[in-house]
């Protein structure tokens, strides 16, 4: 399949108010998705990420704001005129049509000539590795296979972007990992703009070019996975994306966070490097997680936190014993909120 | 659900149920008996199911198949052995007319109830839970009312000077008396038959994932097109079972035509009743009943073919 021309999506001041709900489901969200970008909406359930996707797809009308694809406002268009591909959590394959007929459906709607439909369907099924399932019915396939058919169906007509609403949510762990890799590969091969909605931070971190973190209908922060993980702007982002040790600046209300793997633990003050920040703590537990130990800490003042040691590295102290946690100031990040 | 569909499904299930992967409770049992042959346990289970069915089968045999056999038998043997009763039916100039009128009425009632019930059942799947309860009660209300009460209500509405007559008089059309006409019978039967259409439709429609319509529109199909290509075929099993139910019950409906119709425009059930009750022509009535039964079976068979697997239909459409 040829890489399709890429298209950008611009969301400007979009809000959605559902009648009878106290606060907007989506509250003045503005985002720019670059052509060919893999953008992920990450957030807990009820944070507005799926509603935003539904508004882009056209299933839910906007209360205010606008959505543009390639600079053209599409917020007034019916869903079938938007030329976007959508993949749903529950596959949404047509149960009475074979796999090939499902994938052919969008092409038939576009009056593509029959021979061309056949080649494109074959190509799309080959892309997801299901060429020999063309004549089966959806219910004869596993969940993972069904979702791959749904992916093939959503990209076969080279839509302007592919929107995915928790596409891995209904699958078990192993299939999820497998399909995640396939989605990454499809993005590389197709060069299409991908918009991916998930509540799973691991999916978000491993797949995305950029992530928009949603909370309470608002976007907390947009950035690359590294930016979000290393430099979270808000306490919510710091805690939703990975683990964080949260500290309060002395004589100040401002908070800053340090990631567990950035903490050094010392039995005594002598070994703390010059220029490092430090806090006294007590080890509460040591949990073996295979390739590393997660070390639970209680800092002076009672805050809970954690540090990480690779498997094989010696522990400075045993559970119940005091330690000194230190970190380089370059690894601490001031956050808002909380 | 059509008979063919359920047959297909059960064969898939049987295929999937490998020995040992069957019902959890039976697992240990079938494993221990495996050496003796898993087929014997399956056989035992089936014959146990047979015992449960015995009362129902006995009742059916005694109160349905036995009288039915007698009726058919007498239609061929009285007064003399042969097809006399049947040739009489097709040559008396009345029976065929009545039969056709009955079929036409049943068809009209079937189509009319479908047109009314389809949007209603669809609405039932879209509204809030509380509204759905209200709509369900409204459908079931006629079930809880006696058949006689309902038909007398229509009698009052349709008679000369009744509500319908007065309504049309008020807007300047005089003499709309439905009582005693096939139209009057049809209108009443549509109302009586509505639940039989709404309930199968609703039970099929409630299994259709509404996300499919979103998916279809996102793939480029307009709402009407999504309905035609996705929703309509998926609701077809409900249409078929509702339509066959209404059609067949209407064919043999007695009370409504007896009360609201007239001897001049009678339907099959009325003619049968007259032959048995007034003319004591049991063989003739039996012949008419047998013809009606055969027609019903033919229609049922034809309908089940039409709606067999929805996929076969689609493939045919695509090939055309």
pLDDT in tens, A242-295: 889 998 876 677 889 999 999 999 988 888 898 899 899 999 999 988 888 899
Residue B152 has pLDDT above 80, yes or no: yes
Question: Strands A292-299 and A322-327, how do they pair?
Answer: unpaired
Half-sphere exposure of A338 (CA within 13 A, CB side): 19
**Cα–Cα–Cα angle for B185, B190, B191, rounded to 5 degrees:** 105
Rounded to the nearest angstrom, the minimum Cα separation between A199 and chain B is 20
**Cα–Cα–Cα angle for A246, A250, A254, rounded to 5 degrees:** 55
Number of structural domains, chain A?
2
Residue B92 has pLDDT above 90, yes or no: no
Nearest by Cα to B234 from B258, B211, B204? B204
Residue B252 has pLDDT above 90, yes or no: no
The pLDDT-based confidence of B17 (bands split at 50, 70, 90) is very low
Share of residues in chain A with pLDDT > 70 (%):
98
Domain range for A112 is 9-236
Query: Residues A287, A196: one domain?
Result: no
Q: Give A317 or B201, the one with higher predicted confidence.
A: B201
Residue A2 maps to a domain: no
Nearest by Cα to A200 from A44, A38, A31, A33? A44
pLDDT tens, position by position, A139-157: 999 999 999 999 999 999 9
Query: Residues A228, A271: one domain?
Result: no
Residue A245 maps to a domain: no
pLDDT of residue B307: 65
Residue B6 has pLDDT above 50, yes or no: no
B313: closest chain A residue by CA = A96
Residue A243 maps to a domain: no
Element containing residue A183 per DSSP (H, E): helix A173-190
The C-alpha torsion from A214 through A217 and A222 to A228, rounded to 10°, is -30
pLDDT of residue A124: 94
**Alpha-carbon distance B225 to A32, whole Å?**
33
Task: Kindly report the three-state secondary structure assignment for every residue of B114-180.
Answer: HHHHHHHHHHHHHCCHHHHHHHHHHHHHHHHCCHHHHHHHHHHHHCCCCHHHHHHHHCCCCCCCCCC
Share of residues in chain B with pLDDT > 70 (%):
80
Q: Could you say which of B215, B220, B229 has the minimum Cβ distance to residue A88?
A: B215
Query: Residues A186, A317: one domain?
Result: no
Segment among A47-61, A193-207, B15-29, B134-148 with least mean pLDDT: B15-29
The pLDDT-based confidence of B44 (bands split at 50, 70, 90) is low
Q: Which residues of B touch A80 (CB under 8 A)?
A: 217-223, 225-226
CATH code of residue A268: 2.40.50.140
Residue A246 maps to a domain: no
Q: Give A236 or B280, the one with higher predicted confidence.
A: A236
Q: Could you say which of A80, A90, A101 has the minimum Cβ distance to residue B314?
A: A101
Question: Strands A72-73 and A85-87, how do they pair?
Answer: unpaired
Mean pLDDT of B112-133: 94
pLDDT of residue A162: 95
Query: Residues A72, A183: one domain?
Result: yes
Best of A58, A59, A96 to substitute, by most chain B Cβ atoms within 10 angstroms, is A96
The pLDDT-based confidence of B47 (bands split at 50, 70, 90) is low
Query: Residues A232, A327: one domain?
Result: no
The pLDDT-based confidence of B284 (bands split at 50, 70, 90) is confident
The C-alpha torsion from B214 through B218 and B223 to B227, rounded to 10°, is -60
pLDDT tens, position by position, A196-251: 999 999 999 999 999 999 999 999 999 999 999 999 999 999 999 888 999 887 66
pLDDT tens, position by position, B231-245: 999 999 899 989 989
Query: Residues A229, A282: one domain?
Result: no
10 Å Cβ neighbour count for A333? 18
Element containing residue A15 per DSSP (H, E): strand A9-16
Task: Indicate the residue among A176, A207, A236 that finishes a domain.
Answer: A236
Tokens of A214: 């949603």
Q: Which residues of A touch B226 (CB under 8 A)?
A: 80
Q: Which residues of A touch B311 (CB under 8 A)?
A: 96-98, 137
- Asked whether A238 and A257 are in contact (CB, 8 A), the reply is yes
Segment among A83-92, B237-246, B257-266 with least mean pLDDT: B257-266
Residue A184 maps to a domain: yes
Helix/strand/coil for A171: coil
The pLDDT-based confidence of A5 (bands split at 50, 70, 90) is low
Rounded to the nearest angstrom, the minimum Cα separation between A204 and chain B is 24
pLDDT of residue A229: 93
CA distances from B218 to A19, A66, A197, B183 (A): 25, 19, 17, 45
**Alpha-carbon distance A77 to A26, whole Å?**
20
The pLDDT-based confidence of A325 (bands split at 50, 70, 90) is very high
The pLDDT-based confidence of B180 (bands split at 50, 70, 90) is confident
Query: Residues A172, A258: one domain?
Result: no
The pLDDT-based confidence of A302 (bands split at 50, 70, 90) is confident
Helix spans in chain B (H) = 3-16, 24-33, 38-60, 66-77, 84-91, 95-126, 129-144, 147-158, 163-170, 182-205, 211-218, 223-226, 232-251, 255-260, 268-277, 282-306, 310-319
pLDDT of residue B77: 87
Task: Indicate the residue among A236, A267, A297 that finishes a domain.
Answer: A236
- Asked whether A149 and A95 are in contact (CB, 8 A), the reply is no
Query: Residues A13, A63: one domain?
Result: yes
Q: Give B59 or B18, the one with higher predicted confidence.
A: B59
Query: Residues A182, A330: one domain?
Result: no
Query: Residues A169, A197: one domain?
Result: yes
B13: closest chain A residue by CA = A140
**Alpha-carbon distance A7 to A25, whole Å?**
27
At the top level of CATH, which class does the domain B92-308 belong to? Answer: mainly alpha
Query: Residues A104, A209: one domain?
Result: yes
Mean pLDDT of A118-134: 93
The highest-confidence range among A40-54, A258-272, B38-52, B147-161, by mean pLDDT, is A40-54
Task: Indicate the residue among A210, A236, A262 that finishes a domain.
Answer: A236
Mean pLDDT of A19-44: 93
The pLDDT-based confidence of B42 (bands split at 50, 70, 90) is low
* A85 near B CB under 8 A: yes
Query: Residues A58, A136: one domain?
Result: yes
Q: Could you say which of A82, A83, A92 has the minimum Cβ distance to residue B215?
A: A92
Residue A94 maps to a domain: yes
Residue B18 has pLDDT above 80, yes or no: no
pLDDT of residue B228: 94
Question: Strands A322-327 and A264-266, how do they pair?
Answer: antiparallel
CATH code of residue A27: 3.40.50.300
Mean pLDDT of B200-224: 93
The radius of gyration of chain A from alpha carbons, rounded to an integer in Å, stands at 24
Element containing residue A38 per DSSP (H, E): strand A38-42
Mean pLDDT of all residues belonging to chain A = 91
Kindly list the domain boundaries of chain B, sorted by start residue: 34-77, 92-308
Residue A3 maps to a domain: no
Residue A321 maps to a domain: yes
């Amino acid at each position: 399949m040829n890489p399709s021309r890429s298209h950008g999506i611009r969301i400007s001041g979009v809000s959605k108010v559902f009648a009878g709900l106290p606060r907007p489901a989506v509250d003045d969200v503005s985002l720019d998705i670059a052509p060919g970008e893999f953008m992920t909406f990450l957030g807990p359930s009820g944070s507005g990420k799926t509603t935003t996707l539904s508004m882009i797809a056209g299933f839910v009308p906007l209360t205010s704001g606008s959505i543009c694809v390639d600079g053209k406002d599409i917020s007034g268009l019916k869903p079938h005129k938007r030329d976007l591909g959508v993949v749903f959590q529950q596959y949404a394959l047509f149960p009475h049509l074979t796999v090939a007929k499902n994938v052919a459906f969008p092409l038939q709607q576009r009056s593509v000539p029959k021979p061309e439909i056949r080649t494109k369907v074959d190509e799309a099924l080959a892309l997801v590795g299901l060429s020999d399932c063309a004549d089966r019915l959806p219910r004869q396939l596993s969940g993972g296979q069904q979702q791959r058919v749904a992916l093939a169906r959503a990209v076969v007509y080279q839509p302007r972007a592919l929107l995915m609403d928790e596409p891995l949510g209904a699958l078990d762990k192993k299939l999820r990992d497998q399909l995640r890799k396939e989605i990454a590969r499809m993005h590389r091969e197709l060069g299409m703009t991908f918009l991916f909605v998930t509540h799973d931070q691991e999916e978000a971190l491993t797949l995305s070019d950029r992530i928009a973190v949603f909370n309470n209908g608002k976007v907390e922060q947009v950035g690359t996975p590294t930016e979000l993980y290393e430099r979270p702007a808000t306490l919510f982002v710091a805690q939703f994306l990975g683990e964080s040790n949260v500290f309060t600046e002395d004589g100040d209300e401002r908070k800053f966070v340090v990631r567990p793997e950035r903490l050094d633990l010392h039995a005594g003050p002598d070994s703390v490097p010059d220029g490092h920040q430090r806090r006294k703590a007590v080890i509460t537990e040591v949990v073996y997680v295979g390739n590393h130990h997660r070390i639970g800490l209680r800092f002076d003042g009672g805050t809970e936190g954690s540090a990480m040691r690779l498997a094989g590295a010696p522990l400075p102290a045993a559970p119940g014993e005091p330690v000194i946690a230190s970190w380089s100031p370059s690894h601490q990040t001031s956050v808002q909120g909380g | 659900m059509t008979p063919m569909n359920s047959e297909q499904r059960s064969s898939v299930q049987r295929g999937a149920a490998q020995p040992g992967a069957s019902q959890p409770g039976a697992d240990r049992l079938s494993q221990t008996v495996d050496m003796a042959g898993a087929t014997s346990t399956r056989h035992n289970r089936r014959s146990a199911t047979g015992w449960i069915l015995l009362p129902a089968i006995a009742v059916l045999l005694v109160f349905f198949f036995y009288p039915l056999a007698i009726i058919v038998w007498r239609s061929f043997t009285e007064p003399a052995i042969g097809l006399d009763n049947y040739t009489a039916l097709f040559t008396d100039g009345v029976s065929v007319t009545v039969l056709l009128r009955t079929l036409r009425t049943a068809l009209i009632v079937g189509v009319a109830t479908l047109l009314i019930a389809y949007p209603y059942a669809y609405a039932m799947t879209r509204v809030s839970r509380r509204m759905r309860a209200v709509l369900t009660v409204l459908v079931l209300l006629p079930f809880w009312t006696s058949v006689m009460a309902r038909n007398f209500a229509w009698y009052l509405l349709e008679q000369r000077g009744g509500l319908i007559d007065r309504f049309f008089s008020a807007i300047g059309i005089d003499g709309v008396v439905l009582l005693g006409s096939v139209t009057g019978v049809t209108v009443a039967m549509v109302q009586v038959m509505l639940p039989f259409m709404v309930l199968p439709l609703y039970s099929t429609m409630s299994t259709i994932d509404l996300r499919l319509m979103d998916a279809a529109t996102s793939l480029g199909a307009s709402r009407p097109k999504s309905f035609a290509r996705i929703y309509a075929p998926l609701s077809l099993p409900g249409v078929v079972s509702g339509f066959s139910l209404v059609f067949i019950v209407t064919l043999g409906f007695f009370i409504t035509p007896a009360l609201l119709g007239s001897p001049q425009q009678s339907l099959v059930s009325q003619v049968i009743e007259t032959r048995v009750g007034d003319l004591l022509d049991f063989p003739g009535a039996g012949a008419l009943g047998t013809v009606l039964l055969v027609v019903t079976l033919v229609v049922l068979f034809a309908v089940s073919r039409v709606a067999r697997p929805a996929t076969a239909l689609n493939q045919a459409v695509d090939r055309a």
